[in-house]
Amino acid sequence: MRNACASVIYLGKIELRWCQNCNLPVLGKTCGICNSDTEEVKLTPPGDIRPAFPFDIELCRETIEKQFGNAILPDIVILNDVPSIDRMDEVIFNGKVAGALQYDMEEKKFRFIPRVWFASVIKPSRGFVVADEGAVLPILNGSNLLAPGVIDASPEIKRGNEVVVYSPDREVIGVGKAYMDSREMEKGKHGMAVKIRWKGIEKDERISNATWDDVLRANENIIASRVNKAVDFIHRTIRESGLPHAVSFSGGKDSLATLFLVLDAGYKPPIFFINTGLEFEETVRYVREIAEKLSLKLIEEDAGDIFWKAIDFFGPPARDYRWCCKTCKLGPTTRLIRKNFPEGVLSFIGQRRYESEQRAKKGSIWKNPWVEGQVGASPIQNWTALHIWLYLFKKQREYKLKWNELYEHGFSRIGCWLCPASDMAEFEFRKHKDWKKFEEKLKNFASKHNLDERWVYGGMWRWRHTPNWDDGKYEIKEERKYTIKGNESTIENFLKIIGEVNKLGDREYEAGGIKIWLGEEVKSSDREGLVRDVVYKAINCMGCGICMAKCSRNAISIKGGKAHIGDDCVHCLKCMEECPVIVFR
């Protein structure tokens, strides 16, 4: 695996600033407590900052202690999600980045990469190297530490470890990565001992005793102004859309904030929840609890066990092969809207620009291209995760309601428990009770396609095509065959998509003037590609219901776990467009 980080991504303004007087984070130019001007915090874009929960602080503390012998952190710590191969968060306090907490996929553990000022605060008793006097200036001027310049190194250092470099009088002058273990360093006559990441002499030993109550006070006006804008947006959008409205609730923080905002605007919306069948139990429980406690109508649609049926056909989902989003999310969404909002619906959805490039480009109001009649609107499009959390901390008091408990167990986003977009770190935080069942599927697929253990256990299954940062190339080729036998009546029904169907003989049909023969191979007098797709779709249909949304004639229903084409079909072929069986062939 190459040591690569994703390129810098700008999705919006970096909002985090710091009041040095109160020593706490502020999301605007003036501190709401002391009225001082705040300072910009230099961090890595996109800057979707969030509070560290006690779990995160403890994880950080343990990791730092293991590596450096000492750890000290205040209660108010901000985390900044940095684009990386797996989980990596910048850890921020005192108005600057103290280091980065990174999950190492190969080693399956976290490591901490400190900055110089923080290394000076913790004064490492492990993971340190002492440079001789002659190496101090070159290091401060940007050189790496060579082996002859090492006069001492703590004995446990292994190649690849993050280390702190001291001057002979034990002042921290740099931090970096060990290129040798400690014995090699001490004996080494040549070669690089430490590749320096950060250099300098810097100290800041303040440990803030601010609390989250203080942070709320410091940001009160800023959050209030965001809420006012969001409430105006909600009123305006409802007025202009002319559609019934609802809140799409996933059980995550963004949809919770969206729901509270709609309540703040004075509405009592129904909430809808798509249970993908892959939700953590905590999430399902939480969604129902919120609906009950807020006395809101809950409309739930369940994907059932479609994932487990579909995985044998598609293989494991991957970041570049997300069939599951279609079958487990889009299909049930389509059904829910069809059943409950036949005239269309304005859904308030908790989407934010800081989440992804795609969402940054989307704007605050959009038409769902996949679900006819659904207009999405996000009142929190320009909020960072810290805006969301400060608002939720405030609402928690008002409603006596907490957020999904998974956030207190290391999760920064809530989704399906085996989502391929998850970091490996999250799979380590909590494994669902069905994880073994999923792992069996991975193992079977791996043995069929000659994939190694790293693909199964090292998380490489999350990419269908080898990502460009990885050196281990693998290729997955799927060959899916037709099995006509036993599927004749479904095929005959699906041929309606092409045109009016006449049965001419045994496995011989005419559809829309095209003659079709279903033998070993599918043959037709015309449009053979289309005919094959329709036959293939009929055989493999898993009843996800996505095609129902595409059909303006309402000609499709789900019967016996498969789509059924009714007599109102006008052969427009629209239902061929998004069928996952065809798209992910």
Residues at the interface with ligand SF4 (CB under 6 A)? 497, 537, 541-547, 550-551, 553, 555-556, 563, 565, 569-575, 579-581
447/466 Cα distance (integer angstroms): 17
Beta strands in 440-507 (DSSP E): 501-505
Q: How far apart are CA 4 and CA 470, in angstroms?
A: 9
Concatenating the DSSP letter of every residue in 360-402 gives HHH-SEEE-SSSTTEEEE-TTTT--HHHHHHHHHHHHHHHT--
Q: How many CB atoms lie within 10 A of CB 138?
A: 16
**C-beta of 438: minimal distance to ligand SF4 in Å?**
22
Burial of 400 (0-12, 13-18, 19+ CB in 10 A): exposed
Shortest Å, Cβ 570 to ligand SF4: 5
Question: Which tokens sit at 471?
Answer: 């050196």
Complex with ligand SF4: residue 73 or 581, whichever CB lies closer: 581
| Residue 375 contacts residue 289 (beta carbons within 8 Å) | no
Asked whether 268 and 296 are in contact (CB, 8 A), the reply is yes
Taking a C-beta distance cutoff of 8 angstroms, is the pair 558, 343 a contact?
Answer: no
Smallest gap, in angstroms, from Cβ of residue 475 to ligand SF4?
Answer: 26
Shortest reach from residue 500's CB to ligand SF4, in Å? 11
Nearer to ligand SF4, 169 or 567 (CB): 567
Whole-number minimum distance, CB 478 to ligand SF4, in Å?
16
Least distance in angstroms from the C-beta of 491 to ligand SF4: 12
Whose Cβ is closer to ligand SF4: residue 69's or residue 566's? 566
For the CB of residue 317, give the shortest distance to ligand SF4 in the complex, in Å: 15
* Burial of 351 from C-beta contacts in 10 A (0-12 / 13-18 / 19+): buried
For the chain, give the longest Cα–Cα distance: 95
Cβ at position 307, least distance to ligand SF4 in Å: 13
Cβ neighbours of residue 235 closer than 8 Å, sequence gap 6 or more: 265
Which residue, 389 or 509, has its beta carbon nearer to ligand SF4?
509
* Minimum CB distance to ligand SF4, residue 583 (Å): 9
To the nearest 10 degrees (0 to 180), the angle between helices 212-241 and 385-399 is 90
User: Alpha-carbon distance 575 to 548, whole Å?
Assistant: 7
CA distance 372 to 344: 8
* CA-based torsion, 543, 548, 551, 555: positive or negative: positive
3-state secondary structure of 113: strand
- Pick 174 or 545: Cβ nearer ligand SF4: 545
**Shortest gap between Cβ of 558 and ligand SF4 (angstroms)?**
7
Residue closer to ligand SF4 (CB basis): 218 or 546: 546
- Which residue, 115 or 537, is less far from ligand SF4 as judged by CB? 537
Q: Output 491 or 563, the one with its CB closest to ligand SF4.
A: 563
Kind plus residue range of the DSSP H or E element containing 340: helix 331-340
Q: How far is the C-alpha of 101 from the C-alpha of 365, rounded, in Å?
A: 35
Q: Give min distance, CB of 340 to ligand SF4, in A.
A: 19
Residue 142 structure tokens = 């940007």
- Nearest CA to 245 out of 329, 326, 359, 365 is that of 365
- Residue 359: CB minimum distance to ligand SF4, A: 25
Name the percent of the chain in helix, strand, coil, to the closest 5.
Answer: 35, 20, 45
61 vs 564 by CB, closer to ligand SF4 = 564
Q: How many residues does the chain have?
A: 585
Q: Calculate the alpha carbon distances from 295 to 92, 115, 290, 402, 419 in Å.
A: 39, 49, 8, 16, 31
> Cβ closer to ligand SF4: 238 or 551?
551
Q: How many CA atoms lie within 13 Å of 568's alpha carbon, on the beta-carbon side?
A: 8
Q: Which is nearer to ligand SF4, 312 or 453 (CB)?
A: 312
Minimum CB distance to ligand SF4, residue 545 (Å): 5
Strand partners, 510: 502, 515
Position 79, amino acid: L
Cβ proximity to ligand SF4, 66 vs 574, nearer residue: 574
Decide whether 238 or 581 has the Cβ nearer to ligand SF4.
581
Q: How far is the CB of 497 from ligand SF4 (least distance, A)?
A: 4
Nearer to ligand SF4 by Cβ, of 386 and 569: the residue is 569
